[in-house]
Amino acid sequence: MTEAPSRRTPPEILAPAGDADSFLAALAAGADAVYIGLKQFSARMQAENFGLAELSRLTDLAHAHGRRVYVAMNTLIKPGELAAAFRLVARLARQVNPDGLIVQDMGMPDIARQAGFGKGIFLSTLANVTHPCALDTARRLGASRVILPRELSIDELRVMDAACPEGLALECFVHGALCYCVSGRCWWSSYMGGKSGLRGRCVQPCRRVYRQNAPSRSPRGKPARADRQGRFFSCLDLSLDVLVKTLLAMPRIVSWKIEGRRKGPHYVYHTVTAYRMLRDESSDAGARKTARELLDLALGRPPTRARFLPAKAVVPTEPDGQTSSGLLAAKVRTDADNRVAVKPHFDLLPGDCLRIGVEDEHWHATLPVTRRVPKTGTLILGLPKYKTPRNGTPVFLIDRREPELTGILAEWRAKADCLPKRPSRPVTAGPKLPRPHVAPKSGPPDMRLTAAVPHGRQTRASRHSLTALWLSPRSAAVSRTVVPRIVWWLPPVVWPDEEAALQRLIVKLMRDHARRFVCNAPGQRALFPDASEIGGSGPELLAGPFCNTANAAALGILKDLGFTAAFVSPELAGEDMLALPGSSPLPLGIVVSGFWPVGISRFGLLGVKEDTPFSGPKGEIFWARRYGGNIWLYPGWPLDLTEKRPALAAAGYSFFAHIEEFPPRELPQTRRQGLFNYEGTLL
């Protein structure tokens, strides 16, 4: 599907929907397209999501009114899930006929085409297409649209728009929740217990309270630093509001995306209405004012522009503030009969939904309002005794079913009910997968890749290991005689303003006969020039562990892109790790030890000092360090699968890596095992 840009066709307003009411609210508000998730393979598994029979009727309703429907299957696909994903896409194509499929896993475009899906393939922001030349790789993968990261500024969006190749279109977020870490570069929830953001199971550890203790002794002449605690990583909501008019001049940005598949119809209706006005009536001051008022009523978090304006880029967190979603309705008080009650600041309506406290407090709960409560009236909260909040706990209105909206939804629901549900037909076929790589019978060489960080320190390679360095201007300044012996690791994220400098470093190293490079996103393949441009043979490219590779289909795509070997994602459970080599078309490696980050962010830090340990709500220790323009967050205990190495080698892994990082001196010793999900389950 090709989306030819034209400013005679305005960008679509793309609305979220986690349930049928939100879907209908999007249509009623005038959304041009709606994106939804299924019961499986959705990056918002906490949303109610849709079954195919229900979705077929809603999609027919949307199509009858000239709207489009996109389905998110944007999760990491485990080795044993490819057949199930194929069958689901085949049923989706036959029964629902949506207009686009949103995917993260690089094997999914091929799986979808094999399953007969002939509409648009959109690469999720989780696929980490973050710099201009990566767009060419996205097109090679068969994508018709790329969803851009939320961290880009207006200038960087212009660069991406100008670089977008023919046959590819772009989508950008204009409103909704922000994650502190870069999409596709967060393992925080997974590292703490197998609930992965890449699998739609994130428990949002970034929203919790963290503490950083002051040093026991301060340097002479300096006052002691006080202990700090706060929601250091809990972001405000992105809201471009009136600034979206600057996107109208970018012809390849064909879609303005509103985040919020866990939000209710009130939020969807208000945000869609607001952005439709900001798009269609951008020159009307009255319309702009009304749109901003609607956004204020949408029950989101406090707004931020984040990095959108490069001259006013801010860290979009308020460690000491309230970053929970919803409108503050009241504060808890105990009445004369010792009952938990509130006196709301405005009228509460039947069908309203209240949230008591925030998610990491033990009394956190959501409650429906069953009767009208006037402003300053009294509402008794029916909470069990073990969830009794303390006085002063904030209570938020998080969803509202005002009579007008309820009536509108009823009208649209009646339209949907008139349409038939298309019956489901079983699918028994499966995908064609690449032929597995056959390892030599004598066994692979024991190659240990030691990825040293750019502190100027290097580890000495032995006969059975290779030295690896993160590629940076500092590390690339090593002696020319050393360059060919090093394995050069590209960073996990490359931003538009870093691309040209990184390409120059790569050319310099290749002219100095650098041979092996590790790319940590598939799109980084496009950073390398043709061998004919610089003379000599081409490089040997390995797909790094930050590519989140987890199945044979994805490995087949990496092979087609020219990679000669690949690291698998260390996030996989042991059962999946041990199964993957048997179906892989490439030799495989794995990170067996070292400090693996729980997340990488571009947003900077407020309230947390770098290279100083801080603790989580259950005493877990973390630390943060800046590399270039990014913040790397690390757990206080390293990944350590060294005891599993014999089993991994027996399963067919050909090479192993140790990520050497130098933690803060103050980092306390911990007995916690760093097995990641090896002995658990990646949900």
Does pLDDT of 49 surpass 80?
A: no
Longest dimension (CA), the chain: 85
pLDDT for 336: 75
* Distances, alpha carbon 14 to alpha carbons 258, 268, 653, in Å: 6, 10, 43
For the chain, give every domain's residue range: 12-178+236-299+408-417, 186-233+597-637, 327-399, 447-596+639-660
3-state secondary structure of 664: coil
Return the CA Rg of the chain: 26
Sheet of 210-212: strand order equals 228-230, 210-212, 614-615, 621-627, 630-635, 599-601
Does pLDDT of 385 surpass 90?
A: no
pLDDT for 584: 97
Q: CB-based contacts of 458: which residues, under 8 Å, 6+ apart? A: 452, 467, 469, 478
pLDDT for 454: 35
pLDDT for 5: 52
Question: In which residue are the tokens 């041979």 written?
Answer: 515
Residue type, 56: S
User: Which band of pLDDT confidence, cut at 50, 70 and 90, is reported for residue 439?
Assistant: low
What is the residue-averaged pLDDT of the chain?
Answer: 91
pLDDT for 60: 97
Does pLDDT of 406 surpass 90?
A: yes
Q: 3, 5, 23: which is closest to 15 by C-alpha?
A: 23
DSSP 378: -
pLDDT for 223: 58
Q: CB-based contacts of 633: which residues, under 8 Å, 6+ apart? A: 181, 188, 233, 597, 598, 599, 600, 601, 622, 623, 624
Domain 12-178+236-299+408-417 has CATH 3.40.50.300: no
Which region among 4-8, 33-37, 515-519 has the lowest average model confidence (pLDDT)?
Answer: 4-8
* Distances, alpha carbon 485 to alpha carbons 466, 480, 527, in Å: 7, 10, 21
pLDDT for 578: 97
What is the C-alpha to C-alpha distance for residues 152 and 600, in angstroms, rounded to an integer? Answer: 15
Over residues 493-539, the pLDDT tens digits come to: 999 999 999 999 999 999 999 999 999 999 999 999 987 777 667 89
Mean pLDDT for the stretch of residues 135-149: 97
Tokens representing 593 are 């030890």
Q: CB-based contacts of 148: which residues, under 8 Å, 6+ apart? A: 125, 129, 157, 160, 170, 171, 172, 173
Q: 141, 250, 121: which is closest to 554 by C-alpha?
A: 141
What is the C-alpha to C-alpha distance for residues 340 and 379, in angstroms, rounded to an integer? Answer: 9
pLDDT for 323: 78
Does pLDDT of 216 surpass 80?
A: no
Over residues 582-599, the pLDDT tens digits come to: 999 999 999 999 999 999
Over residues 538-570, the pLDDT tens digits come to: 899 999 999 999 999 999 999 999 999 999 999
What's the length of the chain?
Answer: 683
pLDDT for 442: 45
DSSP H helix total and E strand total for the chain: 15, 32
- In CATH terms, are 12-178+236-299+408-417 and 447-596+639-660 the same topology? yes
pLDDT for 335: 80
Q: Domain 447-596+639-660: give its CATH superfamily.
A: Aldolase class I (3.20.20.70)
pLDDT: is 438 or 347 the higher one? 347
What is the C-alpha to C-alpha distance for residues 611 and 633, in angstroms, rounded to an integer? Answer: 10
Q: Which CATH architecture has domain 327-399?
A: Beta Barrel (2.40)
User: Which band of pLDDT confidence, cut at 50, 70 and 90, is reported for residue 447?
Assistant: very low
DSSP string, 73-105: E-SPPPGGGHHHHHHHHHHHHHHT--SEEEE-S
Mean pLDDT for the stretch of residues 455-481: 74
Sheet of 333-334: strand order equals 333-334, 340-342, 379-380
User: Which band of pLDDT confidence, cut at 50, 70 and 90, is reported for residue 458?
Assistant: very low
